[in-house]
Amino acid sequence: MTRGKIGQGLLGCGLAGILATMAAPAIAATNLNGALLEKLTSSGFVATWAPQPNVGAYDTTSPQYPDGWIAQGVATISATNAWAVGSYVDRKGTGHAGTEHFDGRWHNIANPAAPAGSSLGGVTALSNTNVWAVGTQTVTVSGKRSTRTLVEHWNGTAWSVVPSPDIGQGYSDGLQSVAATGPNDVWAVGSYVVLGSGTQPLILFEHWNGAAWSITLPTPRVSVGASNPIGALSLLLLAISADAPNDAWAATGGGDPNSVLHWNGSSWTPVSGVFPTGYEINGVWAASRKDVWAVGDSLQPMNMPTLFEHWDGTAWHAVQGPAPGYTRVGLYGVSGSSSSNVYVVGAVATQSYPATNTFAEHWNGTAWSVVPSQNPRTVKPGPNNSVIDFLNGVSAASGAVFASGVQGPDIGG
């Protein structure tokens, strides 16, 4: 599933977070942040309470740790069956993978298989007994800290780690998003970088063929785009969508011309012309090889239009969508259940900028329209008495849509 971009200081290195305790009804403000999970209803996206994986470790005297869990991805099976994954930080500052399941309400699901220092970034569900989650684990090699890929599988009873390849010694790598068309066709996208080089990360694809995971690199090599934050937020975004074994799409974030790639059954190659100068692509979703949506935001000052680009099998076409006039909108995740039922989520900078609120829109096959979404005040505000809310991922199935996100105090001043 796709996810979003906003959170400088909110996500640190991807394990720590500044999140929000999600509740409906609202609960008292707390220093313990948590995930923001919303479900689509007849009145729009409504916040659904999600328990804290590490609530027993919470120490009110600690200003930094532990930190509540951040939801980085969501997968929808039905209106009463969904998964959310992410990470949380214990009182020693160690990151842990977080997994929660929705059966009418959210429940923590034990994940002892995930190693300490791990984080899950994306999840996809083929059935009740076939769910994949991908992420990153921290390791120490020759006294140096680096990261490695992490893949986990839910078989209906428990989570287990499935071996996944890495680029090799001297590199840091990890996975962020995952999509599947069937039990023998699962794609994950991530990035890798030469350890300690300070160079721009490069895109990494991994594929499950039903027996093992293998690495596939695009031709030419493609770098991960750098993001321009909205308000106090900045997240590295990588997204992937697959609708057939020979038709998958990925977005690499940033304003690089190669930031959308296509899998044709034999190789990953860039698809040019996806956005005008000054914009970036954060999310992608494919209904078919002739019906693909790419969404993003402007790298320019405020009051720029939102970015909806549609692929018709031959070329990209800009599609206009509504946006509040006095603000800046970032679109970070996109998913649909059909060509006429597509949702995007993200954030809108409020008048008290750099604070943000959640934002969502819907495509009915003809036009985009704004969908109400909630901003529950369940965390203490920042120094300027404001809170940062945003939705970073969305997953749509027939008759059900869930969105994941973050709420935390605005620490921008």
Q: What is the pLDDT of residues 89-140, one digit of tens each?
A: 877 778 899 999 999 999 989 999 999 999 999 999 999 999 999 999 999 8
pTM over 0.85: yes
pLDDT for residue 94 = 82
Nearest to 47, CA basis, from 6, 120, 105, 122: 105
Question: Of 57-61, 209-213, 284-288, where does mean pLDDT reach its minimum?
Answer: 57-61
- The residues near 61 (Cβ < 8 Å, ≥ 6 apart) are none
- Strands (E) located in 106-158: 106-108, 118-127, 130-141, 144-154
Cis peptide before 354 (omega within 30 of 0): yes
Tokens of 386: 């404001």
pLDDT for residue 92 = 73
pLDDT for residue 406 = 84
Nearest to 365, CA basis, from 344, 340, 342: 340
pLDDT for residue 256 = 73
What's the pLDDT band for 231 if we cut at 50, 70, 90? very low
Q: How far apart are CA 345 and CA 358, in angstroms?
A: 8
pLDDT for residue 140 = 86
Tokens of 178: 């995952």
Percent of the chain with pLDDT over 90: 54
Beta-bridge partners for 250 = 240, 261
Q: How far apart are CA 6 and CA 313, in angstroms?
A: 31
What's the pLDDT band for 360 if we cut at 50, 70, 90? very high
Amino acid at 218: P
Percent of the chain with pLDDT over 70: 78
For 260, the enclosing helix (H) or strand (E) is: strand 260-263
- Choose between 338 and 231: higher pLDDT: 338
The number of C-alpha atoms within 13 Å of 65 and in the hemisphere containing its C-beta is 12
- The residues near 51 (Cβ < 8 Å, ≥ 6 apart) are 100, 106, 107, 108
Any idea which residue has 């006294």 for tokens?
Answer: 143
What's the pLDDT band for 62 if we cut at 50, 70, 90? low
Mean of pLDDT values over 168-192: 95
pLDDT of 198 strictly over 80: no
pLDDT of 383 strictly over 50: yes
Contact 13, 7 (CB under 8 A): no
Contact 69, 40 (CB under 8 A): no
Q: How far apart are CA 316 and CA 313, in angstroms?
A: 8
Contact 147, 133 (CB under 8 A): no
Tokens of 28: 């008292």
pLDDT of 189 strictly over 60: yes
pLDDT of 387 strictly over 70: yes
Let me know the angle formed at the C-alpha of 53 by 115 and 92, rounded to the nearest 5 degrees.
Answer: 60
Nearest to 207, CA basis, from 269, 282, 148, 263: 263
pLDDT, the chain, mean: 82
pLDDT for residue 249 = 98
What's the pLDDT band for 349 if we cut at 50, 70, 90? confident
Q: How far apart are CA 50 and CA 290, in angstroms?
A: 37
Mean of pLDDT values over 63-77: 78
175: left (phi over 0), alpha (psi -120 to 50) or beta: beta
- 55: three-class secondary structure by DSSP: helix
Q: How far apart are CA 45 and CA 48, in angstroms?
A: 9
Q: How far apart are CA 295 and CA 46, in angstroms?
A: 23
- Choose between 237 and 39: higher pLDDT: 39
Contact 392, 4 (CB under 8 A): yes
Tokens of 245: 């074994």
**How many residues are listed for the chain in this entry?**
413
pLDDT for residue 229 = 42
**Architecture of 34-409 per CATH?**
7 Propeller (2.130)
Tokens of 367: 């036009």
